[in-house]
Amino acid sequence: MRKKSYKAWLEGDIAFRGFTYLAALSLVGVVLAILWVLVEKSQLTFTKFGPGFALGSRWDPVHGVFGALPLVYGTVVSSLIALAIALPLSLGIAIYLTQLAPHWLRGPVSFLVELLAAIPSVVYGLWGVFVLVPWVRSSVEPVLGSALGFLPLFRGAPYGFGMLAAGIILAIMITPTISAVSREVLLAVPRSQQEAMLALGATRWETIRMVVLPYGRSGILGAAILGLGRALGETMAVTMVIGNRPQISPSLFELAQTIASIIANEFSEAFNDLHLSALVAAGFILFVITLLLHVMARLLVWRVARVPQGVTRE
Amino acid sequence: MLNTRNKWLVLLMSILLVGVLVGPVGQIEARTIALNGAGASFPYPLYSKWLDEYRKIAPNVAIDYQSIGSGGGIRGILEQTVDFAGSDAPMTDEQLAKAPGEIFHIPTVMGAVVITYNLKGVKTGLKLTPDVLADIFLGKITKWNDKRITSINPGVNLPAQPIVIVHRSDGSGTTNIFTDYLSSISSTWKTKVGKGTSVEWPTGIGAKGNEGVSGAVKQTPGAIGYVELAYAIQNKLPYAFLKNRAGKFVEPTLETTTAAAAGAAANMPEDMRVSIVNAPGQDAYPIAGYTYLLVYKDQKDKAKGTELVKFLWWAIHDGEKFAKELLYAPLPGNVVKLAEKKIKQINYRGEVLHK
Amino acid sequence: MRIRRNQRRRIVDRIMGVLSVLATVVALIPLASILIYVSAKGLSAINWDFFTKLPKPVGEPGGGMANAIVGTMILVGLASAMGIPLGILAGIYLAEFGRGRLAWTVRFICDVMTGIPSIIVGIAVYGTIVVAMKRYSAIAGGVALAIIMLPLVTRTTEEMLKLVPNSLREASLALGAPQWRTVVSVVLRSAAGGIITGVMLAVARIAGETAPLLFTALSSRYWHTGLDQRIASLPVYIYTYATTPYEDLHRLAWGAALVLLALVLVTSMAARVAGRRASGGNRG
């Protein structure tokens, strides 16, 4: 009797363990399946163009010539613009929320910033098309063009749509990610060091500059990379505002195309096998880029502070 | 077992799950025959009207059509992810060779591609000649007050604004008709760009769908783009008059579209894959084309095939009367006869489905 | 001299303080703008028909998005039915049993998965399920969303379970409960609040996903007729309607955006409030 129940006891455990084990393996299975589809379906392109696919600068479905460079360029540059805007902003927010804001305000403000992360990408896109793009066209680009038009960055016709609009919308979207992670990183800075600094007569800013920021440096870097990773793979909002033209142009006013946006545009209607496989191949490149960035970010953030759950929404 | 405060959260989750469970039940109750189509966005307004009207007379058939571009329609029919496809570009021989069965092109209506623009104070009727149009889209003419435009438009006050070209970013039959036209009138275009459902544009903004292009043109001062006639008129977008082969500036209308088809209709090939751009005739508008529904000759599902044939028959007869109000040119009589012949050949294991 | 330097230091301090406040304000402007536009424009589109009627053909005024609202619910429900149990089980594995190389791999894979752009998930599901089934379907859409949800649920579960003190486990085991009993009735139960929060955040997240649905669930003009058929959803409708030139459809797109935003924000706010309470009060 007793022996039997002991056996049941064991069997229950083994079965339960087995279930959880299988569930865990399913994650590995899913990622391998995704990888398999990407590799399998991009065969045609990589055998035809070789690794040069990543460096080809023409994307011409009519003549069957595909090179991913304009897409990689669009993806990387729009994300870097986003980072250039979002990083200082997020640092400001993180500093304000951890060092300066009155305590009663910290909760509500960080909640509001995190709300930005909850807004669906397609809603950003809708707002981008009807609010942001007209504003960029009528206010931002003419002002930048006349003030800084001597730089090739700010030349050309103000379309509204284009690299700049995509960069701005991405910046808004990644700010909550970067600021939340930076906040955690800054919170992990030992209180005693800051107090020591203040006791020596330093101002608050000097404390931040000489103690807080250096201490959190690699964590902030990790946060930035995490944000960058999110920007690289962002699809809908970018597709709706970037202008969808695969080209490499120094001007931020110009239209561009990212890997994700070209897939959204062309995947459902590409009918010849080469075109389709070229899109998948571009997706494969995106996969590899985000993978590398992600690994880097994790390593950096892990070193400093545990990433709080619910913060990384990518 | 859960904290009280979390109970309602669980409730919410359960509601979502119930949705899944109720889903299949509702489906059994209202088992209808579903026919799924996708493809060209060019005829989408008409098709959405058709589907709505057809539902009224055949409530047991749910026909869906999603506008994803002609290229997507062609891939859908080749991969058999759709029951029928829409395309403004006839399939090429190479594409047809890939199909697992014989594919019929059933023309439904004709449409015209118009040149639309966004110029303050300039309404419909800007005049364009073929070579000027080609050079604008080639990026050779970059300002609206270029001599070559102003000289053919005396009295029109054209601004010194840069020309912003808007083109389709997705594969589309509209692009095919438009680039087919540009290739037929400009040898530079033909060698440099060519024709196709998506081409490598020398310049300009890409936008998705007829919708996207007219949307972008509407939002961008100085923009020029090409859209389907119905889209331009329904959106009250201004459009250009084009010089046709007979040397006359023609307004794109249903009549001038029909005039373009009139000549071409006489020598319609048996498989109905035909280009009617730059057609001869005094009043022929030069950028026009058929739009097709693509179906397999040999249907694999008898019930579906039967309903599909019924719908096609209805479309080219009763459906045509909705064409004009939505600004599509109905098929000429002899083309309807040719289409009838094709529909009558659609079969299930040799059994003709048309009754 | 000394005083002037101190003054400068104080001014710099002030300026940096103002800048950080400014950064916060600047970041909140888009939030305000989005909320205002979506509610102002969305409200004008919303009426009874919006929640009860099917879309009208292009160019005819009126019509609603009832099918898309139901469709989104079904897709999210399908994804949850697959993603939540699997994710929780995988999370249990990582927290309770996961040691050694396999656990490290799973944890790594889980991190990688959160970083995969959602459009790539769409391609992968298209390449497998849609091509195999030869049609766009609600199932394919549900699977795509479940894949996006899976790592989020796994991660949450693992972290929440790890917060449960070991003494609870030991007490349960000492009473003679088998390990599975311990995990299910003791550990999981005490972490339930946190897990539900994480799960709801994941649900809110996938409810707004568009990219993976474009090639999997597509869209539809009708009520869904089966899980093996294409299905309408709010995000895809917003995308397609926003890019049309029709004012009527723009209005509907704003309306749909308002409904979607309300769904997503209410869910994630509730999740956060629940989470705050759970972590503030007694855990379990």
CA A143 centroid distance within chain: 28
pLDDT tens for each residue of A221-232: 888 998 998 999
For chain A, how long is the longest CA-to-CA vector? 90
Kindly report whether the global pTM for this prediction surpasses the value 0.90. Answer: no
Helix/strand/coil percentages in chain B, nearest 5: 40, 20, 35
What CA–CA distance (Å, rounded) separates B134 from B120? 23
Span C96-128, pLDDT tens digits: 888 888 888 899 899 889 889 999 999 999 999
b/e code A204-232 from CB counts within 10 Å (16+ = b): bbbbbbebbbebbeebbbbbbbbbbbbbb
- Give the separation between CA C215 and CA C127, rounded to whole angstroms: 9
The mean pLDDT value for C72-99 works out to 93
CB contact under 8 A, C267 and B17: no
Nearest to C208 by CA among C258, C139, C252, C150: C258
Going along chain B from its start, the domains and CATH numbers come out as 32-111+289-352 (3.40.190.10), 112-266 (3.40.190.10)
CA nearest to B228, candidates B110, B108, B86: B110
Summarize pLDDT for B276-329 with one digit per residue, the tens: 888 888 888 999 989 999 999 999 999 999 999 999 999 999 999 998 888 888
Taking every pair of C-alpha atoms in chain C, what is the biggest distance, in angstroms?
Answer: 82
Q: Are B308 and B299 in contact (CB under 8 A)?
A: yes
Determine how β-strand A59-60 pairs with β-strand B61-67.
Answer: unpaired
* A267 contacts chain C (CB < 8 A): yes
Number of other residues whose CB lies within 10 A of the CB of residue C40: 11
**CA separation, residue C144 to residues B105, B279, B300, C49, C60 (Å):** 34, 48, 29, 30, 33
Mutation target vs A (from C120, C157, C173; most A CBs, 10 A cutoff)? C120
- Inspect the interface and report whether the beta carbons of B200 and A276 lie closer than 8 Å: no
> What pLDDT is recorded for position B14?
62
Please report whether residue C8 resides in a domain.
Answer: no
> SS3 of B85, please?
strand
Q: What are the φ and ψ backbone dihedral angles of B63, each rounded to 5 degrees?
A: -100, 125
Type of residue at A156: G
Number of domains in chain C: 1
What would the pLDDT profile of B212-227 be if each residue is shown by its tens digit?
788 788 878 899 999 9
C128 in any annotated domain: yes
Q: Is residue C163 part of a domain?
A: yes
End-to-end CA, chain C: 62
Q: And the tokens for A266?
A: 């062309």
The residue range of the domain holding C83 is 46-283
Q: Which chain C residues are within 8 Å of B82, Cβ to Cβ?
A: 135
With beta carbons under 8 A apart, name residues in chain B contacting A61. 171, 196, 198-200
SS3 for A244?
coil
Render pLDDT for B52-62 as a digit per residue (tens, 0 to 9): 899 889 888 88
User: What pLDDT is stored for residue A53 in this prediction?
Assistant: 93
Secondary structure (3-state) at B163: coil
> Which percentage of chain C shows pLDDT scores above 90?
56
Q: What is the dihedral of CA C227, C228, C232, C233, to 10 degrees?
A: 60
C138 is a domain residue: yes
- B298/B307 Cα distance (integer angstroms): 14
Q: Are A62 and B69 inside 8 Å of each other by CB?
A: no
pLDDT at A255 over 90: no
Q: Count the alpha carbons within 13 Å of B110 in the hemisphere toward its beta carbon.
A: 32
Report CB contact under 8 Å: B45, C57.
yes
* Residue C41, domain member (yes or no): no
Chain C residue nearest residue B14, CA to CA: C77
Lowest mean pLDDT of B233-237, B284-288, C135-139, name the range: B233-237
User: SS3 string of chain C?
Assistant: CHHHHHHHHHHHHHHHHHHHHHHHHHHHHHHHHHHHHHHHHHHHHCCHHHHHCCCCCCCCCCCCCHHHHHHHHHHHHHHHHHHHHHHHHHHHHHHHHCCHHHHHHHHHHHHHHHHCCHHHHHHHHHHHHHHHHCCCCHHHHHHHHHHHHHHHHHHHHHHHHHHCCHHHHHHHHHCCCCHHHHHHHHHHHHHHHHHHHHHHHHHHHHHCCCHHHHCCCCCCCCCCCCCCCCCCCHHHHHHHHHCCCCHHHHHHHHHHHHHHHHHHHHHHHHHHHHHHHHHHCCCC
- Per-residue pLDDT reduced to its tens digit, B270-284: 888 888 888 888 888
Res A51 pLDDT > 60: yes
Beta bridge partners of A65: A60
The whole-angstrom separation of Cα A275 and Cα B74 is 14
Long-range contacts, A13-21 (Cβ 8 Å, 24+): A13/C178, A13/C179, A13/C180, A15/C180, A16/C179, A16/C180, A16/C183, A17/C97, A17/C179, A17/C180, A19/C89, A20/C89, A20/C90, A20/C92, A20/C93, A20/C96, A20/C97, A21/C93, A21/C97
Chain A segment 31-60 residues within 8 A of C by beta carbon are 31, 33-34, 37-38, 40-41
Task: Look at residue C9 and tell me if it is in a domain.
Answer: no
Residue B295 belongs to what H/E stretch? strand B288-296
A152, exposed or middle or buried, with CB in 10 Å at 0-12, 13-18, 19+?
exposed
In angstroms, rounded to a whole number, what is the distance separating the alpha carbons of residues A8 and A12? Answer: 6
Q: What amino acid occupies position B47?
A: Y
**DSSP three-state, residue A32:** helix
The candidate with the shortest Cα–Cα distance to A25, out of C155, C160, C93, is C93
Pairing assessment for the beta strands B329-330 and B103-117 based on DSSP bridges: antiparallel
Place of tokens 């759970």: C278
* Averaged confidence pLDDT in chain A: 88
Residues in chain A closer than 8 A to C205 (CB atoms): 118, 313
Residue-wise pLDDT for C160-210, tens only, equals 999 999 999 999 989 888 888 888 888 998 898 889 889 999 999 999 999
Nearest Cβ partner for A157 among B71, B72, B162? B162
Task: Determine the straight-line distance between the first and last CA of chain A, rounded to whole angstroms.
Answer: 53
| CA torsion, ordered B341, B343, B347, B353, to nearest 10 deg | -110
Residue of B nearest to C127 (CA): B79
Question: Is C79 a domain residue?
Answer: yes
The rounded mean pLDDT for chain B is: 85
Name the residue among A237, A281, A248, A243 with its Cα closest to residue A263: A281
Cα separations (Å) of A78 from A11, A86, C130, C206?
Answer: 55, 12, 32, 24
pLDDT of C222 higher than 50: yes
Average pLDDT over residues A210-214: 90
**Alpha-helical runs (H) found in chain A:** 2-49, 69-95, 103-118, 121-127, 133-135, 141-148, 163-187, 191-199, 204-207, 213-233, 236-241, 259-266, 273-304
Burial class (CB in 10 A: 0-12, 13-18, 19+), A4: exposed
Q: What percent of chain B has pLDDT over 70?
A: 90
pLDDT number for residue B22: 52
**Closest to C226 (Cβ–Cβ): which among B27, B38, B49?**
B27
Q: A-chain residues within 8 Å CB-CB of C24?
A: 92-93, 96-97, 109, 113
Question: Which residue, chain included where needed, has tokens 């699977």?
Answer: C143
Task: Please name which of C134, C139, C124, C131 lies closest in space to residue C228, comparing C-alpha atoms.
Answer: C139
Instruction: Please give the Cα distance from A93 to A242 (Å, whole number).
Output: 27
The DSSP element (H or E) to which B78 belongs, if any, is helix B70-79
Give the pLDDT band (50/70/90) at residue B9: low
Per the structure block, which two tokens stand in for B180?
Answer: 């087919």
Tokens of B107: 């023309």
**Cα nearest neighbour of C275 on chain B:** B6
Determine, for residues A269 and B171 on separate chains, whether the beta-carbon distance falls below 8 Å: yes
Cα distance between residue B234 and residue B220, in whole Å: 18
Q: Which amino acid is at A72?
A: V
Nearest to C245 by CA among B118, B217, B198: B217
Q: Do C113 and A113 touch (CB under 8 A)?
A: no
Supply the DSSP symbol for A314.
-
Distance, in Å, from the CA atom of B212 to the CA atom of B210, rounded to the nearest integer, reads 6
DSSP β-ladder status, B61-67 and B33-39: parallel
Weakest-pLDDT range from A76-80, B15-19, B341-345, C136-140: B15-19
Distances (CA, A) of A81 to A123, A127, A166, A303, B338: 21, 19, 9, 27, 57
CB nearest to C81's CB, from B17, B51, B79: B17
pLDDT score recorded for residue B168: 87
Where residue C56 falls among pLDDT bands split at 50, 70, 90?
Answer: confident
What CATH number is associated with residue C228? 1.10.3720.10
> Both tokens of residue A76?
């990387």
ipTM: 0.92
Of A116, A279, A294, the CB nearest to C112: A294
Range name among A21-30, C30-39, C103-112 with the lowest pLDDT average? C103-112
Identify whether C278 is part of a domain: yes
B150 three-class SS? helix
Q: Closest by alpha carbon to C175, among B212, A9, B47, B319?
A: A9
